[in-house]
Structure formats: structure tokens, C-alpha cells
Amino acid sequence: MINVTPMKPSNLSMAGFRMSFKQPKLLSYLLLFLIGYCLPVQSQAAYQAHQIEAVYIFRIANFIQWTNKPLESPLTFCGESFDPVVQTLIKISTDKRIQDRNVNIKTSGEDTANQCDIYIANKNTKPSELQAMAENILTISGKKNFTHERGMIELRQVDGKVKPIINLDNLENTSFKISSQLLRISIIEGGNNK
């Protein structure tokens, strides 16, 4: 909700109004996500692809609601320790919170995978591994055609920009919800879009 407060005549800005936001944290996450979304890949060239992917994954997590997860429990990302996306995510998530939850990153094999909220797949992840994961785990990757291999969200380059691709068929029976803001800026596959 936006409150608009008239300013005193001596302090008038060009617009003549001062705005304050009731939910500055949510607004700032949305703004950061949209700014990153709008930057062309050429502008992002100062960063490597795995760094950009890690930032997108971290930002996207702000737009997922786990309905059956206690609020005091941490948000857990999982992936392979050799994956540079996971290594970057470890660096950028240190001492950060998502939706007022602590952030944990677990690395290693299949034993860890079912303890995740978000699983970061890599180019070696097989569709059978994704299928074996619990329904409450969001799977995400920059792997080409990931959503056609049972992945839920693919980070794809479209017209020189990174764009989330969400496959609704792969999200059936999940225990989490994706916000309408994320759906609005994504390419949707599956569901009624077959």
C-alpha cells in the first residue's frame, strides 16, 4: 500500500509529494528482481553466467510461499558442491534472510536432496533424479530445456535477457505457491498453454 503525504511548501519536490511504502522489503526485492530482469545480457557481461543464475535463484526464492513449512524453519537450498552456481549462492546468501527465514545451503548427493526447499539442478542432473524428489521441492536450473525434463523453473536467455520459464505441469501437486508477480514476468509452459 502506498501512502501519499503532501509536503510543506518550503520542502516541495518536483512532484510535490513524498511517498512511503508499507512493505519496503517486498517492494525492494521486487524492484531488484525487475531491474535484473530488464538488464540485457550485454550489461550483465561483467558477471559470469553462473553468478547471474545464482542471483536469480536467490531472488526467485522471495516469490515462493511454502504453505506447510513452519515460519521459524530456515529456507534450504541444495545442489552439488562442484556446481559454480551453488558456490556463488553460498557467497551471496551469507548472513541473508528470505521471507524472514534464515538461509541454509546443503551440498552433496541424493540423501540431501529431499531435505531441500529448492534444488538447484546442473547440466548432469537426470530427469529421473528430479522425478524422485518430493513434491515440496522446487527445482530450478539454467540447463537448456530443463522444464521439458521435469524441471519446474528454467532460467533461459530470451532476446538477450534472462527470463524465468515456468512449467505448470511440473508444478502439479506441489505444497508451495508461486506468486503472481513471478508468473507475470515469466514464460509459462504447460497447463492451458500446451
Q: Which residue range(s) make up the domain with 35?
A: 21-193
Residue 3 counted as domain residue: no
83 within some domain: yes
Residue 10 belongs to a domain: no
Whether 52 is covered by a domain: the verdict is yes
Per-residue pLDDT tens, the chain, 194 aa: give them: 333 333 334 443 334 333 334 455 555 555 455 556 555 545 446 888 899 999 999 999 999 998 888 888 999 999 999 999 999 999 999 999 999 999 999 997 656 667 899 999 999 999 999 888 888 899 999 999 999 999 999 999 888 788 999 999 999 989 899 999 999 999 999 887 65
Q: Considering the domain boundaries, does residue 78 fall inside one?
A: yes
Domain total of the chain: 1
Residue 146 phi/psi, 5-degree rounding, is: -60, -40
How far is 106 from 113, CA to CA, in rounded Å?
8
Give the Cα separation of 194 and 191 in Å (integer): 6
Contact 182, 60 (CB under 8 A): yes
Cell 536469480 belongs to 56
> Which residue, 137, 136, 154, is CA-closest to 145?
154
Contacts 24+ apart (CB under 8 A), 183-190: 185/33, 185/34, 185/37, 186/153, 187/156, 187/158, 187/163, 189/147, 189/165, 190/147
In a domain, 74, yes or no: yes
In a domain, 1, yes or no: no
Residue 92 belongs to domain with CATH number: 3.40.50
